[in-house]
Copies of this chain bind each other. A is one copy, B any other.
Amino acid sequence: MREHVEIGQGRQALRHYELADVAIVPTRRTRSSKDVDTTWHIDAYHFDVPLIAHPTDALVDIPFAAEFQRLGGLAPLNVEGLWGRHANAEEELAALADVANTDPQAAMRKLRELHAAPLNVELISERIAKMRDSGMTVAVRVTPQQARELAPVVVKAGAEILFIQGTVISAEHVATDGQPLNLKEFIGTLDVPVICGGVYDYTTALHLMRTGAAGVIVGGGENLQAASMGIGVGMATAIADVAAARRDYLDETAGRYVHVICDSEEVFTSADVVKAIACGADAVVLGRPLAIAEEAAAKGAFWTHASAHPRFPRFEVEGHMAAMFGDERIDDGAVTLETLLHGPSTAADGTQNFVGALKRAMGKCGYTDVKQFQKVALAVR
């Protein structure tokens, strides 16, 4: 039974768990990690590894997306950041990266100025065309606010997978001014698989699945909203709840499988990826952990796509992130995306070789594919 507690007279709360609270337990015959299959697919698109790059300008530019796909994953472009506003986005990012390490506040002001520029629909189309020309699977991220306007544009320009991603999303949005977004009607008008979120609970996830979404994102990409808004369901619980909605929706539709994708600042290390899958995720988004990649667009500076919100900008430099990893971190330079995903690792803290660690964990626990691994034994503290 779900654990509810009465925090005060007549006021109930659900007990929830973070990925950090959870551990996996090897209870079966071990297997060689060479026999482990980490492939993942959504609709007709197949990927060697169940990893997605967080669609922020700090990470994903077109070369990054191409390299990340070459290594087996998927990297959507955020078309509502600098790439969709500034023709010289590369230059602006380079300037931002320079100032980020010496004057974070100036970088933050600069980031806000850059996001104040209007979206340029033609520029967005050009960016997507360029991605398409490179031969990669074209994935694009828009906000729920801009989805109605931008989704047709990006699909027409060649987007093959569409992420509609905000901090919190629901199947229907209510607004008294302007026209609210009804995802059920909207997704039906699009010809591409749509992945949307974030959600935190069973009910919202089930409603989103019923809109026809191909995938549902659990989590808001970042936890800082916990500090400003108090929203912060632990990912272990949120993923398991959304996976339950997936199971019920599968039954209700006699076979429609909606993918559950975790995007949370709780994901720092390869262990967190392992645990997210163990809790029920089909794929996991990496954000900050990729900021130390040589290929990262902002060269180590990091912000999530939510920083585009004019009143809630966020900005962090790599030094800050590294500090969160403490003394366990040995290396101090950038590494290639290839090392980050496939090793060999020069760190013992799970910040590199994400795929290798996932394979080892699956093999040690005796599982050979990602879907089965969602049943691995769990322990909590």
Interface, chain A (partner B; CB < 8 A): 1-3, 5-18, 21-32, 34-35, 104-105, 108, 167-178, 180, 199-204, 224, 226-234, 236-241, 243-244, 247, 269-272, 274-275, 278-280, 310-315, 320, 323, 327-328, 330-331, 343-346, 348-350, 353, 356-357, 360-361, 364-366, 377-381
Give A273's nearest chain B residue, CB to CB: B230
Q: Which residues of B contact A274 (CB under 8 A)?
A: 229-230
Contact B170–A26 (Cβ < 8 Å): yes
- In the bound assembly, the distance between CA atoms of A314 and B352 in angstroms comes to 13
Tell me if A's interface is mostly helix, strand, loop or mixed: mixed
Q: Which B residues touch A175, using CB under 8 A?
A: 31-32, 34-35
Q: Is there contact, CB below 8 Å, between B230 and A173?
A: no
Residue in contact with A16 in the complex, picked from B17, B269, B345, B381, CB distance below 8 Å: B381
A278-B230 contact in complex given A9-B2, A30-B174, A240-B8, C-beta closer than 8 Å: yes
- Copies of this chain, whole number: 4
Please give the distance in Å from A30's CB to the nearest CB on chain B: 5
Given known pairs A8-B237, A311-B343, the reply for A272 and B320 (CB within 8 Å) is no
Chain B's closest residue to A176 (CB) is: B35
Q: Which residues of B contact A8 (CB under 8 A)?
A: 17, 236-241, 243-244, 279-280
Residue A177 contacts which of B23, B32, B236 (CB distance < 8 angstroms)? Answer: B32
Inter-chain CA distance A105–B331, complex, in Å, is 7
Give bound CA distance, A28 to B11, whole Å.
18
Residues of B within 8 A of A345 (CB): 228, 311-313
In Å, the complex CA distance between A31 and B35 comes to 48
CA A32 to CA B311, docked complex, whole Å: 15
| Distance in angstroms between the alpha carbons of A379 and B5 in the assembled complex | 9
Are A231 and B25 within 8 A (Cβ)? Answer: yes
26 contacts between A and B (CB under 8 A): A7-B21, A7-B378, A9-B202, A10-B244, A16-B379, A18-B381, A23-B230, A23-B232, A24-B231, A25-B200, A27-B204, A28-B204, A29-B174, A30-B170, A34-B175, A108-B346, A174-B366, A224-B349, A227-B271, A228-B348, A228-B357, A229-B360, A230-B271, A230-B272, A312-B353, A315-B330
In the complex, what residues of B have CB within 8 A of residue A313's CB?
345-346, 348
CB neighbours (8 Å) of A353 from chain B are 228, 311-312
B3 touches A366 (CB 8 A): no
- The CA-CA distance from A227 to B231 in the complex, in Å, is 26
Closest chain B CB from A217 CB (angstroms):
13
Residues of chain B with a CB closer than 8 A to A247's CB = 10
Does A11 contact B240, Cβ atoms closer than 8 Å? Answer: yes
Instruction: Evaluate contact between A172 and B29: CB separation under 8 angstroms.
Output: yes
List B contacts of A356 (CB < 8 A): 311-312
Of the residues B234, B314, B365, contact of A379 by C-beta under 8 Å: B234
Shortest C-beta distance, A277 to chain B (Å), equals 9
A77 shortest CB reach to chain B, Å:
23
With beta carbons under 8 angstroms apart, the residue of B6, B174, B228, B330 that contacts A350 is B228
Q: Report how far A229 CA is from B230 CA in the complex, Å.
A: 29
A201 contact from B167, B229, B377, Cβ within 8 A: B377
